[in-house]
Amino acid sequence: MAVKLDQSHCCRRNNKSSVLRPGRILIVCLLVLIGLRLFVLLPVRVVSESMLPTLRVGDILLADITCYGLRFPFFHTSILNTGSPQRGDIVLFAYPLDKRQVYLKRVIGLPGDVVVLKDHSLFVNGRQVIVQPPGIRDRAALHSRKHFTWQGEERLGDKVHAVMFDGDGSACKETRRFKVPAGVYFVLGDNRDHSVDSRTWGFVPNENLIGRPFVILFSWDANRHRVEWARTGMKIH
C-alpha cells in the first residue's frame, strides 16, 4: 500500500528542532558556567596594596577553588581533601577574625615550621630566606605613598616571587618568633611593611582556605584610568 508523506509537517518539525537547538546549547553552556563558578573557579578583585608588587589594586584574578579541597558552595564545608598549600603559594582565604571577609596573602610557614622575623630578614626553620638583589632603591611607581621603597626577589623552596620593603628605616626592629601549630598556616603580604597579616592577627586555619589564584584576568590602572594590557593574562607567582 502506497503511503503519501506529509512533507509540510516534516518541514515544520525540522524547523522547530532547528530553532530549539541553539536554545539548548545556550542552556547547557550556562549550566557549565554556573558549575565552574560554584565548584571550580572564582573571580577575585584586589582591593589593597598589601601584595605589591606582585598584585596591584584593580587586578581581577581567577582562583582555583578545588586545589585545597572540594567544598559545598557558600558554606565552605569540606567534601574531599585534594591538597595542601606549599611555601610560596598565594592563597585566598576567609579572614580568621571575620569569615565574611576574603583575604589574599602568601604562605610562608607550614604546620610545624618556626618563622623568625628580624628587621627585613626572614628565617624559616633556622634558614634565612635571602632576598636578591638587596639594597637596590627605587621610588616605586606602583606605590601611592611618597617615600622610597626597594624591591627584590625572595625564594621559598623552588618558588621565586617579588617583595617590597620600605627604605626609610620605618621597619620594626624587634625580633619576632612564630611556631606554626598543626592545621594552620603563617602568611605574609609581599608588601612587607604595609601588610596586616599573621604578624598581627595570627594563623590561617586549614578550614578557612578557599583556593589559589593563578592568573590575572584583567588589570585596571585607576591612577592612569586605563587598562593594563601587559598584565592581563599574566600567570601569578
C-alpha cell at 34: 554556573
Compute the average pLDDT of residues 59-69. Answer: 90
Structural domains of the chain in order of their starting residue, each with its CATH number: 17-227 (2.10.109.10)
Q: What is the pLDDT of residues 149-203, one digit of tens each?
A: 788 899 998 889 999 988 754 555 688 999 999 999 999 999 999 999 999 999 9
Can you give the pLDDT at residue 171?
54
- Regarding predicted confidence, which is higher, 18 or 112? 112
b or e along 219-232 (b: 16 or more beta carbons within 10 Å of the residue's beta carbon)? bbeeeeeeebeebe
Kindly state the cell numbers that stand for 8: 509540510
Catalytic residues, which ones?
A: 50, 105
**What gap in Å lies between CA 121 and CA 57, rounded to an integer?**
26
> CA-CA distances (angstroms) from residue 175 to 110, 117, 163, 184, 195?
20, 6, 19, 22, 17
Q: Is the pLDDT of residue 138 over 50?
A: no
Residue 187 CA to residue 80 CA, distance in Å, equals 24
Q: Which residue has the higher pLDDT, 143 or 186?
A: 186
Residues 180 and 85: beta-carbon distance below 8 Å: no
- Compute the average pLDDT of residues 82-97: 92
- The string over 37-52, giving b where at least 16 C-beta atoms fall within 10 Å of a residue's C-beta and e elsewhere, is eeeebbebebeebbbb
The DSSP call for residue 213 is E
State the pTM of this model. 0.77
Mean pLDDT of the chain: 79
pLDDT (0 to 100) of residue 23: 55
CA-closest candidate to residue 91, choices 155, 57, 132, 42: 42
